[in-house]
Structure 1
Amino acid sequence: MKKTVIAIAALGIPLTFAMSAFGQSSMSLSGVIDEGFDITNNTNPHGDPLYQFQSGYLQSNIITLGGVEDLGGGKKITFVIKTTFDVNSGRSAPGRSFIGLSDEKRGTVTVGRQYDSIIDYLAPTTANGNWGGWLLSHPMDNDNTDGSFLVNNAIKYASPEFAGFKFGGMYAFSNNTKFANDRLYSLGAQYLNGPLLVAAAYLQTNNPGAPNSGATPAGNASFTAARLRIFGAGVNYTIGSTTLGFVYSNTDVRDPVSSSYLSDPSGNPLPLEIAGVALNRLKFQNLEVNGMVQVTPFFFLGAQYVYTLVEGDASGASVKPRYHTVGLMADYMLSKRTDIYVQGAYEKVTGDRSGNVLDSAAIPGAGGISSTASQLAFRTGIRHRF
């Protein structure tokens, strides 16, 4: 059976079949391929432009194997195994993987490597978490609304829907004798009533980026720090073919060491500091306004503006740079499964100068940090779902 599944997957054929030995049990194979060509005007200390093929920007390239076993009485066992991959190099990496029990009246409990409540509940109200993807993320994806990290060792509960309202929560273990070291917990809720969508979420993780087997270890963290705390709320409202959104998120990073989004041309993390003094706190407040117009059933236009106030403190010294981000996108469906798109992002840093990397623009996915306070990136791509 294993060899058969792999062979079919290699041919790119959707797989859905029933396993008669388990009654109403079923398995499915699906995935997404997103590939595009990117142009960035300035990506290193010399101000050089960058032209590159990159995949998984609008949506992660992923292969998903899922299964359901019907236990009867509204109860089911579910599992999901996801593998991400890069179209251009063929490299693969682990994605989400979990198993759980669902009850149509009581909700679902899953355990494994999973999304947190920020992604599950708040992200769909943002442009990047809904239709825009990585290029339209908030600076450094500081609030994780684009899923820069997944959560290991996690047990998660998701409620059923009650008159449009649903909620959930997660606790992720450190897998360490020091119980609180690199653990994570999060909560979130959503309310959907006709054209109105309202969401809120909260997350805290201790010692993210630590070299251990915890919830957000090194290589699976947007910041290496003593603590990362995120909360936010968002609202979307649809009027005819137009959806408007407003989102506020607040990210508080204690004793930050580095960010996975800020590195030199060799890939070495750049220190977060003011005039050579390490930061003891880094705070982001993101205010986003977004809109999407479904021009025809096959074509939509999207736009986004994000104002991010950054506050950095280091032994009495403090700075408050401000990031202004504009994102635009057009998407056309060639079929029910395939679309082509173009998008662009512009970022400008104003306000206080810190004398370090926080003074430079760095659009997520742009391929490098600008040598100036501004950066411009364009992408054209194609996405196929199978």
Structure 2
Amino acid sequence: MPAVILAAFAGVPVAALAQSSVTLYGELDAGLSYVNNVGGHSQYQLTTGTVDGSYWGLQGSEDLGGGARAIFRLERGLSVATGEGLNDHPMYVGIGTDKLGTVTFGRQYDSIHDYFQTFTLTGNNGGTAFAHLLDNDNANNSFLASNSVKYTSATFGGFSFGGLYAFSNQAGAFADNRAYSVGANYSAGSLNAGAAYLHNNGRGNTTSGAYDSLALPGSAANSVFTANVQQQNTFGVGMSYELGEFTLGGAFSRAINSGVTDADTGDLMPSLALNNYEINGIYKLTPAIVLAGMYVYTNGGGAHWHEGALQVDYLLSKRTDVYLESIYQRASSGAPAVINTNDPSSGRNQLMFSTGIRHRF
């Protein structure tokens, strides 16, 4: 009734108001963490986004008739600890139908997110700190595709697919820092499977293309450097199966980086291909307690990394929960140990304990 009264005063037809919607939503995640070795020292810190990045958002739709609708999504990340705004969430506008799918334009998640991420624990209950080494396969959405157009299909008998193209926006350099990705998903009862591919040219060469520069393990011990990459190809396949209250998942990804230069010095660096093998499980112990764990083996560049993680999540209500998690990573000799969100260890090992609270609105 209040909406109808407001519409009458504003001179807006009630029928038109009923055909449109706008929702304000978001999430805040903050807590405390301990890391045993960051550059040779123990670290205690107030954290933000250890599981999920904090953000607020607006999304809405308008019925255009004939089964078509206009949609938009506008999100902005933030640090609860410092109040800093972060450009790590999507914003787009588009049009779609239930039968033909949806086309959107803006800064968006690529197909790794849409069709592969959910089979990893970083893309599910585990969150940010559970990402593969330096989030090399982008399963934790470290980079969103700017200047992109994306198509997402409807679902046909459990099968869906989609693709994205992100423009370089450079005159005379159409392929410099552009990206494209494709993916597909199949769901049938307790079984869910998906695959995705992401390609980028000249990543980090420009500030107005698809992606920013990325971090890679350095050639010297205990180092990580910021890199521009002339060719990047990432593949990911995953599967999960529900067994009552337990979900078993597995994922494999391979990120191939060639034509690598140090973004700070311009020095040519060796090409690097990283493989990630993950097995994970999520168990709903009670309606309020969820247990999750994973093991990941990553290799490439003559080095390898083992990583294991456990998480306990307790739901205080439908919108608020508290969590406790532990992540341990061990690198091969001469390689940096670096759990996602942390700086490198001075040795082969790094251990992190974290606890926090999340609230969704």
Alignment TM-score > 0.5, same fold: yes
Compared with structure 1, are the counterparts of its residues 110 and 223 closer, same or farther at alpha carbon in structure 2 (3 Å cutoff)?
farther
Unaligned runs of 5+ residues in structure 1 are 1-17, 260-268, 312-319, 354-358
1:381 aligns with 2:353: no
Deviation at 1:22, TM superposition (A): 5.0
1:59 aligns with 2:52: yes
1:282 is aligned, of 272, 276, 289, to: 272
Deviation at 1:218, TM superposition (A): 4.6
Deviation at 1:257, TM superposition (A): 3.0
Which residue of structure 1 aligns with residue 7 of structure 2?
none
Show structure 1 runs of 4+ deviating over 6 A: 219-222
Give distance in 2, aligned partners of 1:307 and 1:246.
12
2:69 is aligned, of 62, 70, 76, to: 76
Deviation at 1:19, TM superposition (A): 8.2
Conserved? CA contact 2:241–2:249, under 8 Å: yes
Which residue of structure 2 aligns with residue 50 of structure 1?
43
2:210 is aligned, of 188, 200, 215, to: 215
Conserved? CA contact 1:360–1:369, under 8 Å: yes
Which residue of structure 2 aligns with residue 111 of structure 1?
105
2:181 is aligned, of 170, 178, 186, to: 186
Q: What amino acid does structure 2 have at the position aligned with 1:120?
A: D
198-207 or 221-230, which moves further after superposition?
221-230
Q: Give the aligned length.
A: 338
1:348 aligns with 2:330: yes
Give distance in 2, aligned partners of 1:233 and 1:130.
15
Give distance in 2, aligned partners of 1:278 and 1:50.
33
Paired residue secondary structure (2:123): helix
Conserved? CA contact 1:149–1:220, under 8 Å: no
Deviation at 1:212, TM superposition (A): 2.6
Compared with structure 1, are the counterparts of its residues 103 and 303 closer, same or farther at alpha carbon in structure 2 (3 Å cutoff)?
same
Compared with structure 1, are the counterparts of its residues 99 and 189 closer, same or farther at alpha carbon in structure 2 (3 Å cutoff)?
same
Compared with structure 1, are the counterparts of its residues 19 and 101 closer, same or farther at alpha carbon in structure 2 (3 Å cutoff)?
farther
1:176 aligns with 2:176: no
Deviation at 1:55, TM superposition (A): 0.7
212-221 or 176-185, which moves further after superposition?
212-221
Which residue of structure 2 aligns with residue 91 of structure 1?
84
Counterpart mapping for 1:191-270 below 5 A? 191-218=186-213, 223-258=227-262
Counterpart mapping for 1:309-348 below 5 A? 309-311=299-301, 320-348=302-330
Paired residue secondary structure (1:49): strand
Compared with structure 1, are the counterparts of its residues 306 and 258 closer, same or farther at alpha carbon in structure 2 (3 Å cutoff)?
farther
Task: State percent identity of aligned pairs.
Answer: 40
Q: What amino acid does structure 2 have at the position aligned with 1:342?
A: L
Give distance in 1, aligned partners of 2:262 and 2:297.
22
Q: What amino acid does structure 1 have at the position aligned with 2:351?
A: L
Paired residue secondary structure (1:331): strand
Give distance in 2, aligned partners of 1:310 and 1:278.
18
Deviation at 1:280, TM superposition (A): 3.0
Deviation at 1:279, TM superposition (A): 2.7
Give distance in 2, aligned partners of 1:247 and 1:373.
25
Q: Cα RMSD between the aligned structures?
A: 2.0
Provide Cα deviations, 1:279-302, integer angstroms capped at 9, x if missing partner. Answer: 331010110010111101111111
Deviation at 1:365, TM superposition (A): 1.3
Conserved? CA contact 2:25–2:58, under 8 Å: yes
Which residue of structure 2 aligns with residue 10 of structure 1?
none
Which residue of structure 2 aligns with residue 31 of structure 1?
26
TM-score by length of 1: 0.84
Conserved? CA contact 1:32–1:62, under 8 Å: yes
Give distance in 1, aligned partners of 2:17 and 2:202.
43
Give distance in 2, aligned partners of 1:198 and 1:88.
37
Q: What amino acid does structure 2 have at the position aligned with 1:179?
A: F
2:337 is aligned, of 353, 361, 372, to: 361
Give distance in 1, aligned partners of 2:313 and 2:227.
32
Give distance in 2, aligned partners of 1:121 and 1:19.
39
Which residue of structure 1 aligns with residue 138 of structure 2?
144
Which residue of structure 1 aligns with residue 3 of structure 2?
none
Conserved? CA contact 2:330–2:337, under 8 Å: yes
Conserved? CA contact 1:19–1:26, under 8 Å: no
Conserved? CA contact 2:137–2:254, under 8 Å: yes
Q: What amino acid does structure 2 have at the position aligned with 1:26?
A: S
Unaligned runs of 5+ residues in structure 2 are 1-12, 217-225
Give distance in 2, aligned partners of 1:282 and 1:81.
35
Deviation at 1:66, TM superposition (A): 1.1
Which residue of structure 2 aligns with residue 356 of structure 1?
none
Deviation at 1:217, TM superposition (A): 3.2
Q: What amino acid does structure 2 have at the position aligned with 1:67?
A: G
Give distance in 1, aligned partners of 2:120 and 2:25.
25
